Structure 1
Amino acid sequence: MLHTPYAIATKLNFNLQFIDRGMMQVALLSTVSLFGLLALTATEAFVPTSLHITSTSSNVLHPLKSHIRLYAKKNTRSTGGGGFGSSSSSATPPKGKKGRSTDLISVLNDDDDSKKDEKKFSRTFVKTDQEQLLNDLAAKSSRTIIGQAVSKSPDYASPDMDPFWSLLPSLISTKFPNANDTQLKRVAGMVEFSLGLRDNVLEDDVISNPWRPHDELHAYMPGLGPTEPFLDPDQLDLCRQLSEHYDVIRKEYESLYENRFDRKGNDRFQSVTSMNYESGWKTMVLFYNGHRIKDFPYHLCPVTTRILESVPLAGRIAGFNRQQPLSGIPNHSDGNNMWLTCQMGIKVPPPIVQTSVGEDTAVVSSSASPAYIRVGPEIRHWREGQCLLYDTTYEHETYNAHPTEERVVLHVDFFNTLKMTKLEIEVLQYIYDMREQFMKAEGVAKVGAQLL
């Protein structure tokens, strides 16, 4: 009877138990080798039953829905909004004995190291069969458009090549066996950009736009076409759903605000970056990197939660943002053109009324709220129950000019469903997921610190 690779995988108790950073990376690479084996396995009987790794950690075949910077560049600064960064403080991958790079094939071909690994992980395998399958998979995936993109890296096949990118073609070929090169063309462009080939990928309309600082881009997919600072929110069902349920969402916000302290007495409204804290902007995060927050009281906001989970949330945040009076977020750009941001006004300061005294006393007022956001050259004011949809690759800033009233919005970062295909979004989510797993295996303790 034929079985898909993932149907077979679910029958295996395949977890990880590691001792130190070096073992963690080797074990993750061995995990990926199982993906390769399963991808080439046609029958359940072929699965090597002697392969067994035990632990209490989560099953790596079902990674968390979270996203991570993947831009393979040394000393990448993380002031932007969740792009692609190196997997650690240095872009040079860990090496094995005698300077050997710990890529997948090297790990399996090293007789001395593999014998030690067998003892550490209490596992056995038929090396020649596994090695041949992995080589076949690597050779096949190297001919795909993703494999060709990886091979263009200046560090390709050198010790300086980040092992994650070497493995990526095999991973995508395994996870998405029916995806063809035409469907993955723009993803391949994103991979090239992430590997430092910016000049090959960046398009003229981005480079020439003075409002889109292309030097700050750290994640970029070519071919998404023209864009604007603000987009029509009526294009998205997300925006329509939020506006239609505004009254309920505001009540849910008020309930969350009343219960904003967790069991340890910590306020759930926190600064997610130092910039936000210094700018009077605090956030109650409902979703971080696309997945739920542990121990969060979702029972207090069921409608908000349901609506947010109806879209492919991106690698930043979804939650309620509070902007203090007479404060704002300074001018910046977020550097990822695959994501859009939606904000709906929850509590918006009323217009400011000013009285001028002269020969004739007059009352001067404005119908617009003093809380606003500028994206590129355009300024918009929030209104309660209405959504603003914008592209954060444009420079943008906010300000709440009201002297006493705070501004509250529901903030949602999500993949650009207006321009990207469903398959492209699924592949990008998978790449982010696996990148995070890889970073954790390398010993990056605080993966979330790389995100914003």
Structure 2
Amino acid sequence: MTNRPALWCIAAAVSLASSPTAEAFAPAGRQETSLQSLRQVRRSVITAIRPTSQVRAKAGGFGGGGGFGSSSKPKKNKKRGRSGRGDLVSALSDDESKPKKPSRTFVKSEQEQMLNELAAKCATTAVGRAVARAPDVDDPFWQILPSLLSTKFPSASDEDLMRVAGMVEFSLGSRGLLEDDVIQDPWRPHEELHAYMPGLGETMPFLDPDQLDLCKQLSENYETIANEYEALLEERYDRKGNDRFQSVTSMNYDAGWKTMVLFYNGHRIKDFPYHLCPVTTRIMESVPIAGRIAGFNRQQPNSGIPLHSDGNNMWLTCQMGIKVPPVISDGSGSEAPAAHIRVGPETRHWELGKCLLYDTTYEHETFNAHPDEERVVLHIDFFNTLKMTKLEIEVLQYIYDMREQFMKAEGVQKVGAQVL
């Protein structure tokens, strides 16, 4: 954790933990090169680890939510970054064309000593020990994660983060953390789990939606949400003429399932017409949205999602029926709902304005057997508020955010890419 090749990773950790990242999560648009991004965060952190008074002398105070610097209100800075905020990266970015006030020069050895001390301290935390137990950590992201968390959540104790540390250790290959109730359940393909937090307790395929205010709010506002969906259909093409309904994974392409994405990796989409769906957006944002996509899912007639599991036990899924095909003949003279979902051994059907709440670590599949009518649901993946603490969820959201930003800086992030 303290070797010299990892120093730039720790530098990036402190800088990313200190700077706003709202613009980093739009699926389409800008992407800086890896080299440019890493140079920028390296410059930022070397200034960030100086004594606070000297940093303020250069930057005029921190305008973003940083973790370093004073809590007093900074003076207005006429020169701001691209986002319009006097954030850490904007305030400290080098511009050789402009004169700088003289400041103390930190020699390289002093910089490295500070970074080594930070790394050594973070290595003793629960998350740091989890990373150290991994046999071969060749991904720099996991090497910098203890520093990221210690910087962002300085008051979080080892006890607070014990289950988070278990998630990190599992992600680094410790399959022995899987609990017996997972391994022994024939409906939960545990070999497909790629993100797992131990200690969340027992679960079941379908859960009672009445446990969540989210489901209550969705059902009470069904008519408004359905009208907002129709308004979005009228504006389904963006300014470039692209259809907002997309098949965002290879499974979607073959399964007749397309999504109008309102949130990607838990964040809003740049240039999306949220003014057309204010109630839907407000209710969705009342929970900690997770997963790659959340929005309106359309299932074409005579098509369905093949059997699979999503491999993440920290998420739950809520779906509310927006358009449900009418019943059809079951071939024996009786009628049956045309669209169904099977989760584990249980099969259920969507109803207008009613929610299904389920755990996608169980194998599941869907089908719309109606010959002409499509099925539309509002789909929301969110962190498991029934089992996880508020702090755990905040930490996991932060880990996912930083993982995505790290992937973008490395030039490997793509729409639909698995963050964790």
- String of CA shifts for 1:186-230, please: whole Å, max 9, x gaps: 00000101111122x111111111111111111110000000000
Query: Does the alignment pair 1:304 with 2:272?
Result: no
Partner Cα distance (2:190, 2:105) in 1: 48
Contact 1:342 / 1:390 at 8 angstroms: preserved in 2? yes
Aligned match of 1:290: 266
In 2, the alpha carbon distance for the partners of 1:267 and 1:249 equals 20
Alpha-carbon offset, residue 263 of structure 1: 2.2
In structure 2, C-alpha distance between the alignment counterparts of 1:298 and 1:421, rounded to whole Å? 30
Cα distance in 1, alignment partners of residues 110 and 58 from structure 2: 14
SS in 2 for 1:307: helix
Residue of 117, 120, 138 corresponding to 1:136 = 117
Q: Is the 8 A contact 1:322 1:406 kept in 2?
A: yes
Partner of 1:92: none
CA contact (8 A) 1:231 1:389 kept: yes
Q: Match of 1:45?
A: 53
Q: For 2:19 and 2:341, how far apart are their aligned partners in 1? A: 48
Mapped contact 1:51–1:125 kept (Cα < 8 A) = no
- SS, match of residue 149 in structure 2: helix
Instruction: Please report how far the alpha carbon of residue 259 of structure 1 lies from its aligned counterpart in structure 2 after TM superposition.
Output: 2.1
Q: Which residue number corresponds to residue 192 of structure 1? A: 169
Change (3 A) 1:33 1:392: farther
1:370-381 matched pairs, under 5 angstroms: 370-381=338-349
State the shift of 1:49 in Å: 5.0
Give the superposition deviation at 1:332. 0.4
Residue 345 (structure 1) shift: 0.4
1:324-372 CA-partner distances (Å, limit 9, x unpaired): 111100000110111111000011011114787xxxxxx6334xx2100
2: CA distance between counterparts of 1:302 and 1:26? 39
Q: Please identify, of 277-286 and 177-186, the stretch whose mean Cα deviation from structure 2 is larger.
A: 277-286
In the TM superposition, 1:13-412 aligns within 5 A as: 21-22=34-35, 24-25=37-38, 27-29=40-42, 31=44, 37=49, 44-47=52-55, 49=57, 125-127=105-107, 128-156=109-137, 161-199=138-176, 201-353=177-329, 364-366=334-336, 369-412=337-380
Q: 1:254 to 1:286 in 2, by over 3 A?
A: same
Report which structure shows greater RCO (CA 8 Å, sep ≥6).
Answer: 1
1:379 CA drift (Å): 0.3
Secondary structure in 1 aligned to 2:112? helix
How many Å separate the matches in 2 of 1:240 and 1:171? 36
Distance 2:19 2:302 in 1: 54
TM-score by length of 1: 0.74
Confirm or deny: 8 A CA contact 1:346 1:410 kept in the other structure: yes
CA spacing shift, 1:197–1:403, aligned 2, 3 Å: same
For residue 364 of structure 1, what is the amino acid of its counterpart?
A: S
Amino acid at match of 1:365: E
1:33–1:134 contact (8 Å) kept in structure 2:
no
Classify the secondary structure of the residue corresponding to 1:450.
coil
Q: TM-score, normalised by structure 2?
A: 0.79
Structure 1, unmatched stretches of 5+, are 64-116, 357-362
| Residue 129 of structure 1, CA deviation | 3.8
> 2:68 is matched with which residue?
none
Change (3 A) 1:10 1:446: closer
Number of residue pairs the alignment of both structures matches: 369
Letter in 1 for 2:335: S
Equivalent AA in structure 2 for residue 322 of structure 1:
R
The change in CA–CA distance for 1:301 and 1:24 in structure 2 (over 3 A counts) is closer
Letter aligned with residue 364 of structure 2? H
Q: Give me the whole-angstrom Cα distance separating, in 2, the residues matched to 1:282 and 1:32.
A: 42
Shift in alpha-carbon separation, 1:416–1:131, aligned structure 2, 3 A:
same
